[in-house]
Amino acid sequence: MIKPWYKQFWPWFLIALPGSVVVASLFTFALFSKNQVSLVAEDYYKEGKGINVDISRLKKADELAISAFLSAQNDTAIFTLDKGELAQYPTLKITFQHRTLADRDIEQMVNADASGRYRLALNEPLTGPWYVEVNAFDGTWALNGRANFPSEDPVELYGQSKE
């Protein structure tokens, strides 16, 4: 006696092949929609023009002889600013940008303590490659540098002179 088709192995095997592709496609779509890549800028032309503004701010830091050192200890980043020709220690806007994970970027305004150091409290210790930028609160000058954490040696941040 012949079994009905739904009780045989081969029809279900043939249905399972395209069915597994559909399930895998839905899983892949859900995975990539949750973890979108943000490496490509939508308005790359405008960002490219903004680079010239950044370079002029870096040159201004060189003219004022400003430099800084960054050291990270556990969940604290400490900036030591050589204020050069500045009259006082200004408020700084500090930006940490992760190379690939935009959701881990940090941007904060900090003031100097009594010893002239800037302390930035972090949610978690810094690990991996980072681009660090220090700006005057009014945007007149900027320092930047690349750092790989954890690092025992302080990272030097500078203007245009050493790039």
- Those residues with Cβ within 8 angstroms of residue 132's Cβ, 6 or more apart along the chain or in another chain: 70, 94, 95, 96, 97, 144, 145, 146, 147, 155, 157
By CB atoms closer than 10 A (0-12, 13-18, 19+), residue 22 is exposed
What's the pLDDT score for residue 57?
A: 87
Domain-embedded: residue 15: no
Give 91's pLDDT tier (boundaries 50, 70, 90): very high
Buried b (16+ CB within 10 A) or exposed e, 73-112: eeeebebbbebeeeeeebebbbbbbbeeeeebebeeebeb
Question: What tens digit of pLDDT does each residue of 53-88 get?
Answer: 668 888 888 899 998 999 988 888 999 988 888 888
The 3-state DSSP class for residue 20 equals: helix
Judged against a pLDDT cut of 80, whether residue 104 lies above it is answered with yes
Q: What is the tally of structural domains in the chain?
A: 1
Residue 129 lies in a domain: yes
CATH code of the domain containing 132: 2.60.40.10
Instruction: Please give the residue range of the domain that contains residue 151.
Output: 66-157
In a domain, residue 76? The reply is yes
Percent of the chain scoring above 70 in pLDDT: 87
Give the 3-state secondary structure of 104-120.
HCEEEEECECCCCEEEE
Q: Does 108 reside within a domain?
A: yes
Q: Which amino acid is at 46?
A: K
